[in-house]
Amino acid sequence: MARDYKIAVIEGDGIGPEIVDSALRVLSATARIYHLTIKAVKYTAGGAAIDQFGVPLPDKTLEGAKASDAVLLGAVGGPKWDDVAPELRPERALLGLRSALGLYSNLRPAVMYPELSEASPLKNTKPIDIMIVRELTGGIYFGERGSYDSDEDLSDGTPRGKVTFDTESYSEGEISRIVRQAFSIARSRKGHLTLVDKANVLATSREWRRIASEINADYPDVKLDCLYIDNAAMQLIARPYSFDTIVTSNMFGDILSDEAGQITGSIGMLPSASLGKPGTPGMYEPVHGSAPDIAGTGKANPIATILSSAMMLRLSLGEDKAAASIEKAVSQVISEGYRTTDIMIGKDYVKICNTDQMTDAVISKLK
Residue 236-265 contact track with Mg ion, rule CB under 5 A, x = bound: ------------------x-----------
Question: Is 258 in the active site?
Answer: yes
Distance, in Å, from the CA atom of 163 to the CA atom of 174, rounded to the nearest integer, reads 28
From Mg ion, ligand IPM, none, interface partner of 94 (C-beta below 5 to 8 A by class): ligand IPM
Quick check: is 198 catalytic? yes
- 135 binds Mg ion per the rule CB under 5 A: no
Among 218, 230, 293, 320, which one carries the catalytic annotation? 230
Residue nearer to ligand IPM on the CB measure, 186 or 273: 273
* Residue 174 vs 254, nearer CB to ligand IPM: 254
> Is-catalytic flag, 113?
no
DSSP helix, strand, coil percent of the chain (3-state; round to 5): 45, 25, 30
Nearest to 287 by CA among 57, 128, 106: 106
Size of the site for Mg ion (CB under 5 A): 1
39: CB partners within 8 A, 6+ apart: 4, 5, 6, 7
What is the Cα–Cα distance from 35 to 4, expressed in whole angstroms?
9
Q: Are 209 and 247 in contact (CB under 8 A)?
A: no
Residues that bind ligand IPM (CB under 6 A): 91, 94, 254
Query: Minimal distance in Å, beta carbon 94 to ligand IPM?
Result: 5
| Least spacing, CB of residue 174 vs ligand IPM, in Å | 16
Q: Choose the catalytic residue: 42, 66, 223, 258.
A: 258
Q: Is 80 a catalytic residue?
A: no
| DSSP states along 172-199 | HHHHHHHHHHHHHHHHHTTSEEEEEE-T
Binding partner selected for residue 91 from Mg ion, ligand IPM, none, CB under the kind-specific 5 to 8 Å limit: ligand IPM
Annotated catalytic residue 141? yes
Question: Residue 200: phi, psi to the nearest 5?
Answer: -80, -10
For residue 248, what is the DSSP state? E
Phi, psi of 250 (to 5 degrees): -55, -55
**Which of ligand IPM, Mg ion, none does residue 140 bind (CB under 5 to 8 Å by kind)?**
none
The CB-of-287 to ligand IPM minimum distance in angstroms stands at 7
- Of 255 and 294, nearer to ligand IPM (C-beta) is 255
CA distance 77 to 80: 8
Catalytic position from the list 141, 170, 228, 338: 141
CB of 308 to ligand IPM, least distance (A): 12
Decide whether 65 or 333 has the Cβ nearer to ligand IPM.
65
Query: Hey, CA dihedral for 142, 147, 148, 150, is it positive or negative?
Result: positive
Residue 332 burial (10 A CB sphere; 0-12, 13-18, 19+): middle
Report the nearest approach of Mg ion to the CB of residue 255 (Å): 8
- Residue closer to Mg ion by CB (options 58, 261) is 261
Reference 300, options 273, 266, 331; nearest CA is 266
| Catalytic annotation, residues | 141, 198, 230, 254, 258
